[in-house]
Amino acid sequence: MQSGAIRPIPNMLPRKLFTSEHEAFRETVRKFYEKEVVPNIEKYEKQQHVDRDLWNKAGELGLLCTTMPEEYGGSGVDRLYSMILIEEQAYAMDSSTGFSLHSDIVANYINNFGNEEQKQKWLPKMATGETVTAIAMTEPGTGSDLQAVRTTAVLDGDEYVINGSKIFITNGYLCDMAIVVCKTGNNEKGSANLSLIIVEADRAGFSKGKPLNKIGMKGQDTCELFFDNVRVPKENLLGMEGMGFIMLMKELAWERMLVAIICQAGAEAAFAHTVQYTKDRKAFGKPIGTFQNTRFKLAELRTEIDFCRTYLDRCMELQLEESLGVDAAAAAKYKLSDMFSKVVDDCLQLHGGYGYMLEYPIARAYIDNRANRIYAGTNEIMKELISRTL
Ligand SMILES: Cc1cc2nc3c(=O)[nH]c(=O)nc-3n(C[C@H](O)[C@H](O)[C@H](O)COP(=O)(O)OP(=O)(O)OC[C@H]3O[C@@H](n4cnc5c(N)ncnc54)[C@H](O)[C@@H]3O)c2cc1C
């Protein structure tokens, strides 16, 4: 049984976010996933990354860096287009493509903090898929505690010399460029020591590990990056030296919303597959969907999913108005990733033994969903952020 195909839950509360232009774009994205991605998921999972030319195909259709200004190759549209791209990926039950990190995170850093030259140099090539990008924060010794980053960048004449390593980097294997979080100072206040530096993958001393062997999201390229006296011109600094932490904090709220969107749409897709399954599968001479336990379980899940959708769409409205609080974004990420895990667990149970078989989309969703509670800040860190506002 293949991923994709089943559209999300009927009869959910109607959404109010999208116009007919958004819906037309959604159709393009849906077809792209149906035609280019879903038939290749097994291949991507075997090789542990998507085909390189998938990036170019996505670029040709205007599916990369869509929200970037037109003068830099984007379509200059609102972030609902990013939401649609992520939702369609989740409805296709694909976890291989790392487009969102490239388009919604890396491109935003360059657009928001880069100078004119950096924007001209990188954004158009990112929009066509000619350049694949990553963001490298996490290190073997530190993830949640970003201020403890040990990869150093030392200014030597007109160049930074970078030494250290990064781990768990999405798009790391295929990336042509990474924004690397480096330590550039020794201030007592750790947050003032971090800087963001653009590092091209073909710089001498920059090497990549093999894709990491994850329990899920097997088709998504995730790897280690190593920096051994990598020299980059000081013009590769993004924004100002020592401002890295502040830049990261500014973008992390949106990054958390991206995860919340994945989780909401992922839960809807898992649920839709399960409703169908309970209609088709028979036990004791009748569809398992007729048993009271199944009906009540599905009713509970549907209610929970609908409630979360309402919260998320409201957060999205605030995001569009640029007034979404860090705590609300953290709450969306934490609550919706927990909800997604619960939904897939219950849905798998309703599949019986078949739910444990990888050819069933619910089994893949079960293992894929787990990372959402970890990356973009663990859910414990989300609770930390929420509690600080009380
Ligand atoms: C599939 C995948 C893709 C990823 N992609 C990227 C990427 O593209 N770029 C990137 O930079 N990173 C990426 N990451 C890394 C991810 O962001 C980190 O794994 C995450 O931030 C947690 O860091 P850590 O693994 O070092 O865990 P740790 O920070 O060591 O945490 C271990 C445990 O301690 C808890 N903990 C830590 N601090 C506190 C605290 N103050 N209070 C309470 N509990 C705490 C955590 O919640 C967790 O349960 C990815 C990870 C995965 C799994």
224-237: per-residue pLDDT in tens? 999 999 999 999 99
Asked whether the beta carbons of 149 and 142 are under 8 A apart, the reply is: yes
Confidence at residue 12, expressed as pLDDT on a 0 to 100 scale: 84
Rounded to the nearest angstrom, the distance between the alpha carbon of 79 and the centre of ligand 1 is 26
What whole-number distance in Å separates Cα of residue 374 and Cα of residue 379? 7
Confidence at residue 110, expressed as pLDDT on a 0 to 100 scale: 98
What whole-number distance in Å separates Cα of residue 358 and Cα of residue 370? 15
Instruction: Give the residue-averaged pLDDT of 27-40.
Output: 97
304 an active-site residue?
Answer: no
Q: Whose alpha carbon is nearest atom 48 of ligand 1? A: 378
What is the residue-averaged pLDDT of the chain?
95
Q: Which atom of ligand 1 is nearest to the CA of 98?
A: 8
pLDDT above 50: residue 1: no
Pocket of ligand 1 (CB under 6 A): 101, 134-138, 142-144, 168-170, 214, 217, 222, 371, 374-375, 377-378, 380-381, 384
pLDDT band at 2 (very low <50, low <70, confident <90, very high): very low
Identify the residue whose tokens are 């993830």.
143
Which of 45, 88, 224, 255 does the annotation list as catalytic? 255
pLDDT above 80: residue 272: yes
Confidence at residue 115, expressed as pLDDT on a 0 to 100 scale: 98
Asked whether the beta carbons of 91 and 132 are under 8 A apart, the reply is: no
pLDDT band at 389 (very low <50, low <70, confident <90, very high): very high
Work out the angle at residue 313's Cα, subtended by the Cα atoms of residues 311 and 315, and round it to the nearest 5 degrees: 70
Q: Which atom of ligand 1 is nearest to the CA of 380?
A: 47
Reported as half-sphere exposure (CB side, CA atoms, 13 A), residue 211 has a value of 23
Q: Which atom of ligand 1 is nearest to the CA of 142?
A: 26
What whole-number distance in Å separates Cα of residue 134 and Cα of residue 214? 18
Instruction: Give the residue-averaged pLDDT of 145-174.
Output: 97
8-18: per-residue pLDDT in tens? 677 788 999 99
- pTM (predicted TM-score): 0.96
pLDDT above 50: residue 103: yes
Instruction: Give the residue-averaged pLDDT of 272-288.
Output: 97
Rounded to the nearest angstrom, the distance between the alpha carbon of 28 and the centre of ligand 1 is 34
pLDDT band at 7 (very low <50, low <70, confident <90, very high): low
Q: Map out the domains of the chain with their CATH numbers.
A: 20-132 (1.10.540.10), 134-242 (2.40.110.10), 246-388 (1.20.140.10)
Burial of 367 (0-12, 13-18, 19+ CB in 10 A): middle
What whole-number distance in Å separates Cα of residue 367 and Cα of residue 360? 12
Rounded to the nearest angstrom, the distance between the alpha carbon of 357 and the centre of ligand 1 is 29
CA distances from 210 to 63, 172, 214 (A): 27, 9, 12
Rounded to the nearest angstrom, the distance between the alpha carbon of 375 and the centre of ligand 1 is 6
Confidence at residue 11, expressed as pLDDT on a 0 to 100 scale: 79
The percent of residues above 90 in pLDDT, for the chain, comes to: 93
Rounded to the nearest angstrom, the distance between the alpha carbon of 52 and the centre of ligand 1 is 27
For a mutational test of ligand 1's pocket, the pick from 48, 139, 144, i.e. the residue with the most ligand atoms closer than 8 A to its C-beta, is 144
Q: Whose alpha carbon is nearest atom 27 of ligand 1? A: 143
36-88: per-residue pLDDT in tens? 999 999 999 999 999 999 999 999 999 999 999 999 999 999 999 999 999 99
Instruction: Give the residue-averaged pLDDT of 135-147.
Output: 95
pLDDT band at 281 (very low <50, low <70, confident <90, very high): very high
Fill in the amino acid letter for 59: G
Q: Which atom of ligand 1 is nearest to the CA of 376?
A: 17
pLDDT band at 354 (very low <50, low <70, confident <90, very high): very high
